[in-house]
Amino acid sequence: MQVSSSIRDPLITGGKTVKDVSHDISRHVENKPANLWYLAMAISVSLLAYGLYCVWMVLWNGIGMWGLNKTVGWAWDITNFVWWVGIGHAGTLISAILLLFRQKWRMSINRAAEAMTIFAVICAASFPLIHMGRLWLGFYWALPLPNAFGSLWVNFNSPLLWDVFAISTYFTVSLVFWYIGLIPDFAVIRDRAVVQGNNLRAAIYNALSFGWQGGAKTWMRYESVALILAGLSTPLVLSVHTIVSMDFATSVIPGWHTTIFPPYFVAGAIFSGFAMVLTLLIVTRRVFKLEDYITIYHIELMNIIIIVTGSIVGIAYITELFIAWYSGVEYEGYAFYNRVSGPYAWAYWSMMTCNVISPQLFWVKKIRTSIVATFVLSIVVNIGMWFERFVIIVTSLHRDYVPSSWTMFHPTMYDIGEYLFTFGLFFTAFFLFAKFFPVINMAEVKSIVKSSSEKTNQDASH
């Protein structure tokens, strides 16, 4: 299993031993958090509180608190939803697909990426919920539950219903996959707590680890389950955003009614997901001093994925423009003319700059191995991806078939507030995760320490 060429560069640097791994990663759980952590938490919780106020106002008064109108029925709400779902793609991709492809470099980053996935999906799910006119009924009417309304059933033709299934399945599987991975690491923390004599922590982490004992049979089952879940998750990575794209592709609105949406959306999701993983990990490795575990090599590999997916997205944009012209459909043609040169052209060109041009900088090795450049570009990519969804949703709707209904959309403070709410939620959850959970999968990393650490390398050369 652990066959690898000793000529390869080690994935974990700094000559770490198995013990170092446990120590480096567990100590963040065991020590008091730094002041910086308190500051970050304070900001996140304030954002969350303000966001909750905005959510409350929308739920109490009606969707009219947002800037939507008779023509533009979705704007920031669904833009944010798709954006967060997209971000939520990287985690599972890294854990599942890369696991199946035996890409060991994923081991340092998958834990945080999966956590990010789960929090992003929670943020994403909040939008379809809040955007409903009658959430108090919609949250269960959209489920195919047996009911006392006679033969009343959900509409299986509706892509929104497919969404309900896709997102809830994805969330469940991701959560289970993530938690299973956490179990041995919780056990490590428990064991260390026992040694350190901290009974409370030992009890809590014992419960969290389900009393993990680490027997060979347990490990065997653990790995089987991980493989099975990886197998299950793999199609989900593709299906979730495919279905999200069908929210648009199955409609009749020019600019939405497009067959290339599924691959285009999946590529975009991976693109934005990796960018978000980079943003978060660059901060985490610095704050938690994990430079030896998350190395420049990791960052470079992820940047390469960003080039690939960014280019796919770019080709998709150009294909859309080409088809709009080539099809000869007046409305499709106008929809894209309007994107490029209409009142929302600024959004279109922001999208093009951030998503198509900026990732191409990663062709230069110096840039893709630069922490600062990567950090900046990872944020730029996610700004671009937000604009992509805004462009698709708002510019398609605001001028469709009948010109009398053409309008503009202007966000209100509540549109913005709801977006801030999810940022508050995401970062609060992420900082709690970073403090109380092992941010790197110790069990897996330990498996590559031997084969890839410098020490082993040196041994091999003797």
Partner 1 sequence: MEESKKIYWKGIEQLANSPEYVKHAHAEFAQPGPEEDLGHSRRDFLKMMGFGMSAVALAACEAPIRKAIPYVNKPVDIDPSIANYYASSYINGGDYCSIVVKTREGRPIKIEGNDLSGVTKGGTSAQVEASVLSLYDNARLRGPKAGKEKISWEDLDKQVIAKLSDTAGKGGQIRIVSNTILSPSTNAVIEKFKAKYPTTQHIQYDQNSLYGMLKANEESFGKAMIPSYDFSKASVIVSVAADFLGTWIAPIEFTKQYAQTRQVDENKKDMSRHYQFEANLSISGANADYRTQIKPSQEGAIVVQLYNLIAAKAGKATVSGGAENVNHLAKAADELWANRGKALVVAGSNDKAIQVLVNGINDMLGSYGVTILPHLPVNYRLGDDQAMANFITEVESGKIDVVFFYNCNPVYDHPMGGKLGAGLKNVSLSLATSYKEEETGLLVNYLAPDHHYLEAWNDAEPKKNQFSLAQPAITPIFPSRAAQESFLIWSGVSDADYFEVVKNNWKTWFYKNQTLDFQSFWDKCLYDGVLELPVEASAVTFNADVAAAASAIASNYKASGFELVIYENGTVGNGSQANNPLLQELPDPITKAVWDHYVTVSPKDAKEISFDESKTKYASITVTGKEPITLPVLIQPGQAQGTLGIALGYGRTKAGKVADGLGKNVYPLVGLVNGSLNYTVSDVKFEIVSESYQIAQTQTHQTYMGRQTVIQESLLSEFKNKDWKREFHPKVSTWSDPEHKVDPGSLSLWKGHEYKSHHWGMAIDLNSCIGCGACVVACNVENNVAMVGRDEVIMRREMHWLRIDRYYSSDADPENWKEIEDAADNPEVVFQPMLCQHCNNAPCETVCPVAATTHSSEGLNQMTYNRCIGTRYCANNCPYKVRRFNWFKYHDNSQFESVNTAMNTELGKMVLNPDVTVRSRGVMEKCSFCVQRIQSGKLTAKKERRELKDGEVITACQASCSTGAIVFGDVNNPESKISKLLKIRPADEKNPYRVDKITDNPRAYQVLEEIGVKPNIWYLSKVRNKEAEKA
The single residue among 41, 63, 176, 371 that binds partner 1, judged by CB under 8 A, is: 63
Should residue 211 be labelled a site residue for partner 1 when binding is judged by CB under 8 A? no
Question: H-type helices in 327-412, by residue range?
Answer: 330-341, 345-351, 365-368, 371-390, 396-398
- Record the tokens describing residue 25, joined without a space: 């990663």
Among the listed residues 13, 158, 169, 457, the single contact to partner 1 using CB under 8 A? 158
Rounded to whole angstroms, how far apart are CA atoms 169 and 243? 12
- Return the residue of 154, 204, 282, 321 that touches partner 1, per CB under 8 A: 154
Contact 67, 409 (CB under 8 A): yes
Does 251 contact partner 1 by CB under 8 A? yes
- 107 touches 445 (CB < 8 A): yes
DSSP track, 50-99: HHHHHHHHHHHH-GGGSS--SS---SHHHHHHHHHHHHTHHHHIIIIIHH
**Cα 25 from Cα 434, distance rounded (Å):** 10
- Find the shortest distance in angstroms from Cβ 311 to partner 1: 30
CA 85, 294, 218: angle at the middle one, nearest 5?
80
Contact pick of 45, 52, 97, 160 for partner 1 (by CB under 8 A): 160
Regarding 130 and contact with partner 1 (CB under 8 A), the answer is no
Nearer CB in complex with partner 1: 150/197: 150
In what helix (H) or strand (E) does residue 395 lie, and over which residues does it extend?
A: none
One residue of 106, 131, 190, 339 binding partner 1 per CB under 8 A? 131
- Would you count residue 169 as binding partner 1 (CB under 8 A)? no
With respect to partner 1, which residue has the nearer C-beta, 364 or 408? 408
Counting contacts by CB under 8 A, is residue 132 touching partner 1?
A: yes
Give yes or no for residue 133 binding partner 1 (CB under 8 A): yes
Cα gap 262→265, rounded to integer Å = 5
Size of the site for partner 1 (CB under 8 A): 52
Contact letters for partner 1, residues 299-338 (x by CB under 8 A): -------------------------------x---x--xx
Q: How many CB atoms lie within 10 A of CB 216?
A: 7
Site residues (CB under 8 A) for partner 1?
Answer: 61-64, 67-71, 73-74, 128, 131-135, 137-138, 141-142, 152-155, 157-161, 164, 247, 250-253, 330, 334, 337-338, 341, 397, 399-408
